[in-house]
Amino acid sequence: MKLKSSHSHGVVVAILQVIFFVLFIIFAKYHPDADARHNPLVNGTQLEKKLSKYHSGDDWGHSKLYPMFQDVHVMIFIGFGFLMTFLKRYGFSSVGVNFLVAATCLQWALLVNGFFHLHYNTIIIDLNALLAADFTAAAVLISFGAVLGKTTPTQLIMMAMIEIPVFVINEVIGRQYLGAIDMGDSMFVHAFGAYFGLAVSFALYRDDHSTEKEGSSYRSDLFAMIGTVFLWLYWPSFNSGAAPGDDQHRAVINTYIALCSCTLMTFALSSLVDKNKRFNMVHIQNSTLAGGVAVGTAADLMIQPWGAMLIGMLAATISVLGYAYITPFLASRLRIHDTCGVHNLHGMPALLAGIVGCVAAAFASEDTYGPSLYEIFPKRAPAEGSEDLSRLRANLTDLDAGPGYSAGGQAGNQILALIITLVIAIIGGVLTGFLLRLEIWGRLRTDDLYEDEKYWIIEEEEEEHQMSSVHIPMTSPADNGTSK
């Protein structure tokens, strides 16, 4: 009986939730900004408050961040969820299991991020922490894309539980120790998530991975476009949400431009690589987004509008050619099967992002950035007591001293952070993958690959309106014939 489950994913999820609950009791507290005791409202606002139940009220710490946070939130659940519904028989799992995994990641990321930034043994929860949790979830969902349709829910949940601590360790090394900057998280989220997922996929490789269910249908491709377009639209919020002031404005502009140029090049190349000059939905759904990834690391830097445009064009080129030539090669030669092509959407464009970040850092100077150079690259700030620091503090009294890296030093650390990310992601992913092969997490039979019926109750009766006409011959059966 194929539906018998040798283990219960329900129990695993319930136990995890109880563990999260216990850890929250012990560690989690509201940020003072969200704590009633620390915020006696100032005079005058009470009156306003009384005027209306629905009252926009007083400012709180990060209220301006909220709309961008919601954009990112939509990307995680609608964007990633629907993007993966392209598989014709795996829609419930794509949007549903994405929902489960993401909600797991959010809680676990709040805890793990918190453990690495404890304040008096307390994890502080505020809107920034919620947003950081969403970013962390993105890495796991990217990895999910590489193994889509080939794992049990329990395997995915376990992957998330392992991936998140590895993710946070890598980010702390790169961002904190190396001082690498990565505004849109292209290295720390996209490169990490993609190569971790590809490494897991390598470890889980099976010869029967390509079945006829691994394809899309006309309607499932339209559902996937919901995901694509929302990701595309809100990507400027992803790349700029964490940026301050004018950096945020610049990150919005650069991402918008890179996505536009990437979209045109994707359509152009998609048509050019097809012998009949037709567009390929796989490219449109994925490669149009590569520009957002590729511009991520340098999104807040002074790369100029044309720089952003060039990055988008290159990203599309890499990505479409990747789908056409590299993905088949990876599957057949390297035994790395990549269901969603995350290597083309996230992996290679993130490598490009890392390189762009390095180049942009190498050319960054006070001429172009003014004193804000030392705020964008804190490791470049001059050492305490230096003349330079005194000069700068004339304008920026609060400027912190730093190790005084040169432009070259910063650029080197950018590349180092990228390499370390790749190494940690690949090793972490392979080890995780082998762990996921344990019988205890279950294993799909060939028939269950890319198939919802194993884990979802599917209504068998299908009497829709769209069925009403199935006897009518097609207008031009010949046409349909020729397209096959």
Give the nearest distance from C-beta 466 to a copy of itself in angstroms. Answer: 4
Distance in angstroms (rounded) separating the CA atoms of residues 89 and 183: 37
The Cα-based distances of 19 to 119, 124, 158, 450 in angstroms read 21, 18, 14, 31
* Cβ atoms within 10 Å of 54's Cβ, excluding its own: 6
Q: Which of 328, 370, 403, 408 binds a copy of itself (CB under 8 A)?
A: 370
| Residue 88 binding a copy of itself, by CB under 8 A | yes
Contacts for 454 with CB less than 8 Å, ≥ 6 apart: 2, 3, 444, 448
Kindly write down the DSSP assignment for every residue of 112-171, as one continuous string: HHHHHT-BTTBEEESHHHHHHHHHHHHHHHHHHHHHTTSS-HHHHHHHHHHHHHHHHHHH
Task: Answer yes or no whether residue 384 interacts with a copy of itself by CB under 8 A.
Answer: no
Provide the H-helix boundaries in 204-244. Answer: 218-240
Residues 105-144 binding a copy of itself (CB under 8 A) are: 106-107, 110, 125-132, 135
- According to DSSP, residue 439 is labeled G
Residues 66 and 85: their CA atoms lie apart, in Å, by 28
Instruction: Tell whether residue 99 is a contact of a copy of itself (CB under 8 A).
Output: yes
Q: How far apart are CA 204 and CA 297, in angstroms?
A: 31
Amino acid at 307: G
Among 205, 362, 378, 431, binds a copy of itself (CB under 8 A): 378
Write the DSSP string, 342-362.
HIIIIIHHHHHHHHHHHHHHH
CB of 202 to a copy of itself, least distance (A): 27
The stretch near a copy of itself (CB under 8 A) out of 143-151, 191-199, 329-337, 452-460 is 452-460
The answer to the question of residue 276 lying near a copy of itself (CB under 8 A) is: yes
Interacting residues of 451 by C-beta distance below 8 A, sequence separation 6+: 89, 90, 149, 213
Q: Which of residues 158-177 bind a copy of itself (CB under 8 A)?
A: 175
Instruction: With beta carbons less than 8 A apart as the criterion, state whether 437 and 204 touch.
Output: yes
Q: How many residues bind a copy of itself (CB under 8 A)?
A: 198
Is the Cβ of residue 58 or residue 434 nearer to a copy of itself in the bound state?
58
Q: Please list, in sequence order, all residues whose beta carbon lies within 8 angstroms of the beta carbon of residue 406, skipping any fewer than 6 positions away.
A: 380
Nearer to a copy of itself, 263 or 413 (CB): 263
Taking the complex as a whole, the smallest distance from the CB of residue 430 to a copy of itself amounts, in Å, to 28
Rule CB under 8 A: is residue 377 a binding residue for a copy of itself?
Answer: no
Using rule CB under 8 A, residue 391 touches a copy of itself: no
The residue among 195 and 377 lying less far from a copy of itself, judged by its C-beta, is: 377
7 vs 437 by CB, closer to a copy of itself: 7
| Closer Cβ to a copy of itself, 207 or 464, answer by number | 464
Residues 6+ apart with CB under 8 A from 185: 135, 138, 238, 296
Q: Any contact of residue 394 with a copy of itself (CB under 8 A)?
A: no
Task: Tell me: does residue 259 bind a copy of itself (CB under 8 A).
Answer: yes
Q: Which helix (H) or strand (E) holds 339?
A: none
- Binding to a copy of itself (CB under 8 A): which residues in 417-436? none
Name the one range near a copy of itself by CB under 8 A: 161-169, 410-418, 430-438, 468-476. Answer: 468-476
Task: State which amino acid sits at residue 194.
Answer: A
User: Hey, what are 376's tokens?
Assistant: 């964008």
CA of 370: how far to CAs of 5, 43, 121, 411, in Å? Answer: 62, 39, 39, 18
C-alpha to C-alpha distance for 94 and 450, rounded to whole angstroms:
10
Return the range that interacts with a copy of itself (CB under 8 A); candidates 197-205, 273-281, 353-361, 414-422.
273-281
The stretch among 330-338, 346-354, 394-402, 412-420 that binds a copy of itself (CB under 8 A) is: 394-402
Q: How far is the CB of 147 from a copy of itself (least distance, A)?
A: 19
Stretch that binds a copy of itself, among 245-253, 322-330, 341-349, 350-358 (CB under 8 A): 245-253
Instruction: Pick the binder of a copy of itself from 315, 358, 373, 425 (CB under 8 A).
Output: 373
Looking at residues 171 to 230 of the shown chain, list those that interact with a copy of itself (rule: CB under 8 A). Answer: 175, 211-213, 215-223, 225-226, 229-230
- 336 vs 413 by CB, closer to a copy of itself: 413
Interaction with a copy of itself in 18-37: which residues (CB under 8 A)?
A: 20-21, 24-25, 28-31, 33-37
- Give the Cα separation of 154 and 10 in Å (integer): 9
In the set 151, 194, 202, 247, which binds a copy of itself (CB under 8 A)? 247
Q: Per rule CB under 8 A, is residue 439 in the interface with a copy of itself?
A: no
352 half-sphere exposure, CB direction, 13 A CA radius: 28
Residue of 17, 386, 390, 406 interacting with a copy of itself (CB under 8 A): 17
The encoded tokens of residue 256 equal 């918008």
Residue 1 in tokens: 């009986």
The residue within the footprint of a copy of itself, chosen from 143, 170, 186, 270 (CB under 8 A), is: 270
Query: Scanning residues 332 to 361, which ones bind a copy of itself (CB under 8 A)?
Result: none
Question: Which of the residues 286 through 315 are near a copy of itself (CB under 8 A)?
Answer: 288, 302, 304-306, 309-310, 313
- Give me the least distance between CB of 265 and a copy of itself, in Å please: 6
